[in-house]
Amino acid sequence: MKTPFEDNDIKFMRRALTLAKKGNWRTSPNPMVGAVVVKDGRIIGEGYHKKAGLPHAEVEAIMNSKESLKDATLYVTLEPCCHRDKRTPPCTDAIIEKGISRVVVAMRDPNPKVSGKGIETLKSHGIDVKEGVLEKEALKLNEFYVKYITTREPFVILKTAMTLDGKIATPKGNSKWITSEKSRKYVHIIRSRVDALLSAYGTVIHDNPLFTSRIKNGKNPLRVIIDPELKIPLNFNVYNPPPKTIAVVHSDFINQDKAKDLMKRGVELLEFSSEKVDLSWLMKELGKRDITSLLIEGGSSLNSYALWSGVVDKIMIFVAPKIIGGFNSYPVVGGKLYRDIPEAFKVNNLRIKRIGNDILIEGYIEKDLKNF
């Protein structure tokens, strides 16, 4: 049975998590963090991390406090930082200096520079530390950061839309519009949360998409387009920044004049020399550019290639109440590769919700790595 003290810990941590979400996925490559300062059962200060380079949530909450913090409790969704290898001072210094006597932490920071060290620093100064309160919720909120900081590769979401019979396009490639306007607006929200979006030349040539978020105050993702031979016409949307585009090209087959034109426009060319682009290599390259999250929006072939490359962490499948039929209609996952039933890709932690008349199915591809 919980004690009233434990109930209060949960209540105030929920508030801290709500504050963290105000970061609205704009803190990359930093995590979203919220903090609440409580004294005598009252919230006397709160804050959240707004953007990389700006004060962390703990410092924001301390600065916003309207009375002495001596013997107060700090609730924070992520372990306070203790290192100086960043643009802002260690949060542990501010906590110690203000006389806060108790700190409640949702989750440890997986960053090796911090992990456990921030908590030990606070304990060594006589501060009572409790950790693990609403840890699961905190991990889910920062799944992008956790994957990136532990692997230096982005968290990858495979998004697709299909009919009830599992089709994403007719034999002629027509896919507009399988899902409802509400679902498409929701996709724009997802785009505004990720750092980058990945697609391939086939999808781009067929649809000439913008790949932008198109929502008020929305952030547009960086566009990563696999176009080995630069087949996409120069007047297409993806090759006319902003937002910025990275073209993934084959070093032996690109048109040099076209390449020079693209670079003048600000398009970055990322070259590979293998027969096919290695998606594992590409994820490492994107990680080097501080890209913490990636949304895949492609066709059957790219969906298949991404799954078999092992780079997909999460799936988001929009299912519309429609049936196309047709042996030659495009399935969600195409290609020649397949797995027998016992070895099929398994999806864990399923969530299903209605969006208008459509259904959104979310889940995590089972891997050796921890899924959230």
- Residues identified as active-site: 58
Closest CA to 71 of 4, 10, 13, 127: 127
3-class DSSP state of 336: coil
Token readout for 73 is 């409790």
Dihedral of CA 18/24/25/27: which sign? Answer: negative
3-class DSSP state of 53: coil
Q: Is 133 in contact with 10 (CB distance < 8 Å)?
A: yes
Number of Cβ within a 10 Å radius of residue 241: 16
Close Cβ partners of 353 (under 8 Å, ≥ 6 residues apart): 359, 360
Residue 313 exposure: Cα atoms within 13 Å on the Cβ side: 23
Rounded distance between C-alpha atoms, residue 372 and residue 349, angstroms: 8
Rounded distance between C-alpha atoms, residue 339 and residue 323, angstroms: 25
